[in-house]
Amino acid sequence: MNAVEIEEALLLAEQPFDPAEFSYAFLEPLGKKSPTIKRLKTSCGC
Protein backbone atom coordinates (compact mmCIF):
# COMPACT_ATOMS: atom_id res chain seq x y z
CA MET A 1 0.00 0.00 0.00
CA ASN A 2 1.16 3.49 -0.72
CA ALA A 3 0.40 6.57 1.36
CA VAL A 4 -2.71 7.48 -0.64
CA GLU A 5 -4.19 3.99 -0.25
CA ILE A 6 -3.55 4.07 3.48
CA GLU A 7 -5.23 7.47 3.75
CA GLU A 8 -8.28 6.18 1.82
CA ALA A 9 -8.52 3.16 4.12
CA LEU A 10 -8.38 5.39 7.20
CA LEU A 11 -11.10 7.65 5.82
CA LEU A 12 -13.26 4.58 5.25
CA ALA A 13 -12.66 3.50 8.85
CA GLU A 14 -13.89 6.87 10.14
CA GLN A 15 -17.30 6.50 8.47
CA PRO A 16 -20.27 5.08 10.40
CA PHE A 17 -20.66 1.32 10.00
CA ASP A 18 -23.38 0.27 7.58
CA PRO A 19 -23.60 -3.54 7.39
CA ALA A 20 -25.47 -3.44 4.06
CA GLU A 21 -22.79 -1.33 2.37
CA PHE A 22 -19.65 -2.53 4.15
CA SER A 23 -18.55 -5.16 1.64
CA TYR A 24 -18.96 -2.74 -1.26
CA ALA A 25 -17.13 0.07 0.53
CA PHE A 26 -14.36 -2.41 1.37
CA LEU A 27 -13.84 -3.18 -2.33
CA GLU A 28 -13.12 0.43 -3.28
CA PRO A 29 -9.70 0.76 -1.58
CA LEU A 30 -8.79 -2.64 -3.02
CA GLY A 31 -9.03 -1.16 -6.50
CA LYS A 32 -12.44 -2.33 -7.67
CA LYS A 33 -14.00 0.18 -10.01
CA SER A 34 -17.38 1.81 -9.44
CA PRO A 35 -19.12 -0.03 -12.34
CA THR A 36 -18.01 -3.38 -10.90
CA ILE A 37 -19.40 -2.48 -7.48
CA LYS A 38 -22.68 -1.27 -9.00
CA ARG A 39 -22.96 -4.53 -10.95
CA LEU A 40 -22.46 -6.53 -7.76
CA LYS A 41 -25.12 -4.50 -5.95
CA THR A 42 -27.58 -5.03 -8.79
CA SER A 43 -26.95 -8.76 -9.01
CA CYS A 44 -27.67 -9.30 -5.32
CA GLY A 45 -30.73 -7.05 -5.30
CA CYS A 46 -29.26 -4.55 -2.83
pLDDT digits (tens, 9 = 90+) for 3-36: 998 888 888 788 888 888 888 888 887 888 888 8
- What is the helix, strand, coil percentage profile of the chain, to 5? 65, 0, 35
pLDDT > 80? residue 41: yes
Cβ atoms of 11 and 28 within 8 Å: the answer is: no
Return the pLDDT at 45: 66
**How many whole angstroms separate alpha carbon 25 and alpha carbon 20?**
10
Coil, strand or helix at 38: helix
Q: How many domains does the chain have?
A: 1
The boundaries of the domain holding residue 9 are: 3-44
| Mean pLDDT score, 32-44 | 86
